[in-house]
Amino acid sequence: MSLYCYKMKNAFDARDTICAICTPVGLGSIAVIRVSGPDSFKIVKKLFKPKNKEKFSKLEPGKIYIGDISNENKILDESLCIFFASPKSLTGEDVVEVHTHGGNIVPNSVIKALVFSGARIANPGEFSFRAYQNGKIDLLKAESIAALISSQTEMSAELSIKNISGEISKKFNDIRDLAVTLLAEIEARVDFPEDEVPSIDKSRIDSIFRSLLADSKRILNTYIKGRLAINGLRVSIIGQPNAGKSTFLNTILNEDRAIVSPDPGTTRDVLEAAIVHKGLNIIFSDTAGIRKAGGLIEAEGVRRAKEKVKFSDLTLILVDQAVLRKNPNIANELFDFVPRGKMLLVASKIDLYYESIEIKKSENKPSSLNSNQAEPPIGFHLSSKTNQGIDELLDRIYELSLGEDPVDFKEGVLTTERQVELLKKATTHLEAGLNLFKKDEYMEIVSIEIRAFISTIADITGEVSNEEIYEKLFSNFCIGK
């Protein structure tokens, strides 16, 4: 892991001692400053004057020392210092944590003093990169740390913590170990004379191949849940002008985010807003009304609405109850660009057409989103004015996000496109190896595909040095992590 590209070497030079503020900048009682590198102890000792000099002279890592941080005989703050000796630290290097009072002035004054004494400001993700480089974490854990920091919901945080604990890494280690067993079975026939090795057990080899493929595809299938938990569910709201889209958005947000007007074409651009429902982050997109546009600006709004549907996990088609009564087939006529598998038809404004609104919950549960019938079923009846059907609709959106099986946080899941693309590539090599084996091709050729599979799995966990991945992954971290 010591090899990395020139750019990365300049950005993440392990010979340097680095420092950064690790807590949010601004008003607060405490700020934590982290120092890591070969000279971290020496640099901090220049600035830190302990209250108990005798105990400090016998510095014990892991213990907390109180004293003053000074620079050029000027006291900057009374602080706490904790020393962590390599390799028992976050980064695997000598690390010092300096706890100062919060705010902007004091922490930045201490950072300036540290730089003046020989440290440099850490680059984004540099502490985590050093932890990875020194074997404290793998790439999967690094990605999970980044996801945990940016978590917006308990569901996302819970999943990230599970991955940090090593659940997903264990899955990849297991399939790698099984692949190594398969490679050993194959290459035993390549490296040794036939009279010294038992004849090949084709059924066993075939069984291992198929077990690896099944395990790999099972991990791949976790990505849908992982992506939704980390990134949230994206839901487009589309419909004709004045179908109640903006009113519906304002109702579920409980605030006036979207402009509501009786004039058609009020919404021209896509407006996004998010709520958390049962731990799931749901990002709603209010779009322009779908109709033959009255001008270039409105036409662009319609184009953007249709484009948004392409990248949504679910699309709510809001249709005024009165319009739906006159033309029950309107969803097929006007919204045929919405994939049937992610369409939910909603009859809106029911308060205008019923004196007494008592829609049973059973009516607010469509049979299937994947129905191939001519007319999509009306999934829900609702009134944004009276909140009728709103909670039931949100519950249904949540259920649809989970699919047939609920999210199981007891097992790690894939959460990034990088992991998915590499695992797909690895699976392709495995399938190629199995096909070659079934055709009785030379074992040398079969082993090449198995080696490629093992190598690609190593790319996922970071066992194999890949400089391009390092730069992209760690540079997205915040400074101080």
Give 49-65 as a DSSP string. EES-HHHHHT--TT-EE
Contact 447, 420 (CB under 8 A): no
Name which residue leads in pLDDT, 89 or 465: 89
Q: Which residues pair with 381 in a beta bridge?
A: 347
pLDDT band at 197 (very low <50, low <70, confident <90, very high): low
Q: Residue ranges per domain, the chain?
A: 6-138, 159-222+414-461, 228-402
pLDDT at residue 364 greater than cutoff 60: no
Copy the structure tokens of residue 228. 């939704």
Tell the residue number behind the tokens 């004045």, with chain if given. Answer: 242
What local confidence, expressed as pLDDT, does residue 397 receive? 87
**DSSP reduced 3-state for 370:** coil
pLDDT at residue 120 greater than cutoff 60: yes
Name which residue leads in pLDDT, 249 or 300: 249
Query: What's the number of CA atoms in the CB half-sphere (13 Å) around residue 172?
Result: 30
pLDDT tens track for 39-57: 999 999 999 999 988 888 8
pLDDT at residue 443 greater than cutoff 80: yes
What local confidence, expressed as pLDDT, does residue 421 receive? 94
CATH class of 159-222+414-461: mainly alpha
**Mean pLDDT across 197-214:** 84
- Worst-scoring range by mean pLDDT, 34-43, 100-109, 189-198, 222-231? 189-198
- Worst-scoring range by mean pLDDT, 228-232, 258-262, 341-345? 258-262
pLDDT band at 105 (very low <50, low <70, confident <90, very high): very high
Q: How far is CA 398 from CA 165, 218, 309, in A?
A: 27, 23, 18
Rounded distance, CA 129 to CA 145, Å?
Answer: 12
Q: Burial letters for 65-94: b for 16+ Cβ neighbours within 10 Å, e otherwise?
A: bebebebeeeebbebbbebbebeebbbbbb
| Peptide bond preceding 87 in cis form (omega within 30 of 0) | yes
Q: How far is CA 347 from CA 28, 321, 327, in A?
A: 49, 5, 12
Instruction: Name the range with the highest mean pLDDT among 60-69, 184-193, 275-284, 331-340.
Output: 60-69
Question: Could you tell me the pTM of the whole model?
Answer: 0.70
**Where does 6-138 sit in CATH, by number?**
3.30.1360.120
| Residue 184 φ/ψ, nearest 5 degrees | -65, -40
pLDDT at residue 274 greater than cutoff 80: yes
CATH of 228-402, one of 3.30.70.20, 3.20.20.70, 3.10.580.10, 3.40.50.300: 3.40.50.300
What local confidence, expressed as pLDDT, does residue 59 receive? 87
Percentage of the chain beyond pLDDT 90 is: 31
Name which residue leads in pLDDT, 385 or 478: 385
Contacts of 124 (CB under 8 A, 6+ apart): 474, 475, 476, 477, 478, 479, 481
What local confidence, expressed as pLDDT, does residue 339 receive? 79
pLDDT tens track for 70-102: 998 899 999 999 999 999 999 999 999 999 999
343-348 vs 74-84, strand pairing mode: unpaired
Q: Which amino acid is at 286?
A: D
pLDDT band at 256 (very low <50, low <70, confident <90, very high): low
**DSSP reduced 3-state for 258:** coil
Name which residue leads in pLDDT, 405 or 246: 246
